[in-house]
Amino acid sequence: MADKPKQGEILGVPYNFERPSLGRLVSSHWQPGDSMLVQKPFGIGYTLNLASWRSWVVLAVVAVLLWQENSTDDTDTDTDTDDEDEDDPVEVVVD
């Protein structure tokens, strides 16, 4: 039986199933001069290159969106308790 390769590409998407090491984890997330996306140190696909300023912009946008989502969830629960009149039945007259 032939050994399966532990790293390569399938349909242009890289994969790597070799045992991860600390050096490989750090070097894969910090590659100055490379693009915003780099190959994952373990698994399938790509990850962010933290040496690229574009990655930090993406992380900032995600953080703002998560903060906004969490802050709107808190205000929605407060307004539901104040609007008890909306739960009352409404009479509709049709001519």
16-40 pLDDT, tens digit per residue, is 998 888 988 888 889 898 889 999 9
Please tell me the distance from the alpha carbon of residue 15 to that of residue 47, in angstroms, as a whole number.
12
Q: Which of 7-16, 46-55, 85-94 has the lowest mean pLDDT?
A: 85-94
Strand partners, 38: 47
Q: Reply yes or no on whether the pLDDT at 61 is more than 70.
A: yes
pLDDT of residue 36: 92
Q: Is the pLDDT of residue 4 over 90?
A: no
57 pLDDT above the threshold of 60: yes
Q: Three-state SS string across 29-53, please?
A: HCCCCCCCEEECCCEECEEECCCCH
